[in-house]
Amino acid sequence: MTTSLEGLAERAQRDPFFLGCPLYWFARSEALTDEGLAEYLGCTRETLVKVRLCATPEPRPPAFGRDVAMIAQRFSLDEAALTKAVRRGTVVLQMQAAANPLLAARDRPNEESS
Q: What is the DSSP letter of 30?
A: T
User: How far does Cα 25 stand from its chain's mean position?
Assistant: 7
Q: Which of 2, 51, 47, 1 is nearest to 22 (CA)?
A: 51
Please give the model's pTM, rounded to 2 decimal places: 0.84
Q: How far apart are CA 86 and CA 36, in angstroms?
A: 15
Phi/psi of residue 55, each to 5°? -70, 145
Intervals of the chain under pLDDT 50: 1, 111-114
pLDDT of residue 76: 98
Question: Which alpha helices (DSSP H) does 13-110 contain, by range?
Answer: 20-29, 34-41, 45-52, 63-75, 79-99, 101-107
* Yes or no: domain 4-90 corresponds to CATH 1.10.260: yes
The pLDDT assigned to 99 comes to 80
Amino acid identity, residue 28? Answer: R
- Write down the domain spans for the chain: 4-90
